[in-house]
Structure 1
Amino acid sequence: MSRSRNVVKKSMTVSAVGLFLVSAALTGCDSGSDNAPASSEPTGSGANTGESQNAGTVDHSKPITITVFDNAANYQGEQTGWYGKLVKDKFNITLNILAPQVAGDQLYKTRTAAGDLGDLLIVDNSQLEELIPAGLVMDMTDKLKNTKYLSQYVDNHFKPFNAAFDKVNPEGKIYGLPTFEADTSPTTFSEEIPYSSPIMPWDYYKGVGAPKLNDLNDLLNVLKQMQAKYPKTPDGKPIVPITLWKDWDGGSMENVRWLGNWYGYEQPDGTSTIQLNAKGDIVPLVDDNSMYKKILQFYFNANQMGLVDPDAPTQDWNKVAEKLTNKQVLLLWYSWQRGFYNSIERGKEGDGNVAVPIADSRIIQSSDAYYGNGRVFAIGAKAKNSDRIMEFMDWLASPEGLRYYTNGFEGFNYEKTADGKFKLTEVGQTAFQKNTPVPAEYGGGGYQDGQSKINSMIMSDFVIDPDTKEFYNSNYWSATIEANKTALTTDWQKAYGAENATDYYLKNNMIDVVPNINTSLGTDSSDIKNKRSQISDYVKNTSWKMVFAKNQAEFDQLWAKLQKDVDGLGWKDVVSADTAKAQKIVKMRADALAGK
Structure 2
Amino acid sequence: MVQIMRRLVVMPKKRTFAAWVSLIVALSFVLSACSSGDSGSGGAASETPAEASSGDPAPAPADAAPKLLEYDVVAEYQNLPDENPTMKDKLVMEKFNIKTDTNYITLAEGLEKLSVLFASGNYPDYIPNLNHEAEVKRWGEAGFLVPLSDHMDALSEYRKWWTDEEWNVVTQFAQNPDGKLYYLPAKNYRSHSKAWIYRKDVFDALGLKFPETLDELYAALKAIKAAYPDSVPISNRGKDGVIGIAVNAYRLPGDMWYGFEGFYRDPDANDEVMYAQATDKFRESLKFINKLYKEDLIEKEFPTMTTEQWTQRGVSGRSFIMYDYATRAAYFQNLMQDTPEAQWDWAPVTISTGDKPGFVDRELPFFSYGPIVTNKVEGERLDRLLEYFNWAASPEGVKFHTLGVEGETYEVVDGKPQYSNGAADKHEMFQKTGFIEFLVTDPEYVASNEDRQTDLAVSEAFKDKPFVPFTAFNLSAEDRETANSLITGVTDIAEQFYVKAIMGQVDVNDDAVWNQYVQELNQAGLTQLLELHRKSAQ
TM-score higher than 0.5 here?
A: yes
Q: Which letter does structure 2 place at the counterpart of 1:276?
A: R
Aligned counterparts, 1:180-219, within 5 A = 180-182=187-189, 194-211=192-209, 213-219=211-217
Judged with a 3 Å threshold, the aligned counterparts in structure 2 of structure 1 residues 54 and 201 are, in CA distance, closer, same or farther, namely farther
Mapped partners of 2:204, 2:316: distance in 1: 19
Contact 1:264-1:364 within 8 A present in 2 as well: yes
Mapped partners of 1:130, 1:52: distance in 2: 40
* Matching residue of 2:52: none
* Matching residue of 1:41: 9
Q: Which letter does structure 1 place at the counterpart of 2:287?
A: Q
* Matching residue of 1:113: 119
Mapped partners of 1:375, 1:503: distance in 2: 25
* Matching residue of 2:285: 295
* Per-residue CA distance 1:49-98 (angstroms, 9 max, x = gap): 99999568788999x87312x5xx555xx3338x9854245346686444
Judged with a 3 Å threshold, the aligned counterparts in structure 2 of structure 1 residues 153 and 180 are, in CA distance, closer, same or farther, namely closer
* Matching residue of 1:177: 184
Judged with a 3 Å threshold, the aligned counterparts in structure 2 of structure 1 residues 98 and 166 are, in CA distance, closer, same or farther, namely closer
Contact 1:542-1:562 within 8 A present in 2 as well: yes
Mapped partners of 2:24, 2:492: distance in 1: 52
Q: Which letter does structure 1 place at the counterpart of 2:326?
A: S
* Matching residue of 1:378: 372
Q: CA RMSD in A?
A: 5.2
* Matching residue of 2:158: 150
Contact 1:125-1:520 within 8 A present in 2 as well: no
Flag the structure with larger Rg.
2
More helix by share: 2
* Matching residue of 1:129: 137
Contact 1:242-1:331 within 8 A present in 2 as well: yes
* Matching residue of 2:530: 575
Cα deviation for residue 529 of structure 1 reads: 1.7
Mapped partners of 2:8, 2:470: distance in 1: 30
Mapped partners of 1:79, 1:559: distance in 2: 50
* Matching residue of 2:428: 450
Cα deviation for residue 561 of structure 1 reads: 3.7
Mapped partners of 1:464, 1:272: distance in 2: 30
Aligned counterparts, 1:193-592, within 5 A = 194-211=192-209, 213-229=211-227, 241-246=234-239, 253=240, 255-256=242-243, 259-266=246-253, 271-278=260-267, 280-290=271-281, 292-317=282-307, 320=310, 329=319, 330-342=321-333, 351-355=343-347, 357-358=350-351, 360=354, 362-365=357-360, 369-370=364-365, 372-382=366-376, 393-394=389-390, 397-399=393-395, 402-403=398-399, 415-417=412-414, 421-422=415-416, 442=421, 447=425, 450-452=428-430, 459-461=439-441, 464-465=443-444, 472=447, 474-475=449-450, 511-512=465-466, 520=474, 522=476, 524-550=479-505, 552=507, 559-581=514-536, 583-584=537-538
* Per-residue CA distance 1:121-158 (angstroms, 9 max, x = gap): 52454433322231221244687656684364589577
Mapped partners of 2:521, 2:435: distance in 1: 35
Mapped partners of 2:162, 2:462: distance in 1: 35
Judged with a 3 Å threshold, the aligned counterparts in structure 2 of structure 1 residues 577 and 512 are, in CA distance, closer, same or farther, namely same
Mapped partners of 1:226, 1:141: distance in 2: 54
Identity over the aligned pairs, expressed in percent?
12
Mapped partners of 2:228, 2:29: distance in 1: 63
* Per-residue CA distance 1:15-36 (angstroms, 9 max, x = gap): xxxxxxxxxxxxxxxxxxxxxx
Mapped partners of 2:374, 2:384: distance in 1: 13
Mapped partners of 2:131, 2:219: distance in 1: 42
Mapped partners of 1:168, 1:67: distance in 2: 26
Mapped partners of 1:365, 1:66: distance in 2: 39
Q: Which letter does structure 2 place at the counterpart of 1:362?
A: P
Which structure's relative contact order is higher, taking Cα pairs within 8 Å and 6+ residues apart?
Answer: 1
- Report the 3-state secondary structure (helix = DSSP H, G, I; strand = E; otherwise coil) of the residue aligned with 1:313: helix
Cα deviation for residue 449 of structure 1 reads: 5.6
Cα deviation for residue 321 of structure 1 reads: 5.4
Cα deviation for residue 476 of structure 1 reads: 9.6
* Matching residue of 2:91: 90
* Per-residue CA distance 1:256-309 (angstroms, 9 max, x = gap): 36852344332688635534345634443344522x333333332222121333
Mapped partners of 1:65, 1:240: distance in 2: 51
Judged with a 3 Å threshold, the aligned counterparts in structure 2 of structure 1 residues 88 and 58 are, in CA distance, closer, same or farther, namely farther
* Matching residue of 1:250: none
* Matching residue of 1:79: 81
Contact 2:233-2:297 within 8 A present in 1 as well: yes
Contact 1:80-1:450 within 8 A present in 2 as well: no
Q: Which letter does structure 2 place at the counterpart of 1:397?
A: A
Judged with a 3 Å threshold, the aligned counterparts in structure 2 of structure 1 residues 260 and 94 are, in CA distance, closer, same or farther, namely farther
Mapped partners of 2:400, 2:225: distance in 1: 39
Judged with a 3 Å threshold, the aligned counterparts in structure 2 of structure 1 residues 163 and 298 are, in CA distance, closer, same or farther, namely closer
Judged with a 3 Å threshold, the aligned counterparts in structure 2 of structure 1 residues 396 and 472 are, in CA distance, closer, same or farther, namely farther
Contact 1:196-1:334 within 8 A present in 2 as well: yes
Contact 1:542-1:558 within 8 A present in 2 as well: no
Cα deviation for residue 245 of structure 1 reads: 0.4
* Per-residue CA distance 1:213-242 (angstroms, 9 max, x = gap): 25224313323433454578xxxxx76622
Query: Structure 2: 5+ residue runs without aligned partners?
Result: 11-16, 33-64, 94-99
Cα deviation for residue 567 of structure 1 reads: 1.9
Mapped partners of 2:26, 2:144: distance in 1: 21
* Matching residue of 2:43: none
Mapped partners of 1:195, 1:458: distance in 2: 20
Cα deviation for residue 535 of structure 1 reads: 0.8
Aligned length: 470
Mapped partners of 2:275, 2:198: distance in 1: 30
Contact 1:180-1:458 within 8 A present in 2 as well: no
Contact 1:531-1:570 within 8 A present in 2 as well: yes
Contact 2:264-2:468 within 8 A present in 1 as well: no
Contact 1:263-1:363 within 8 A present in 2 as well: yes
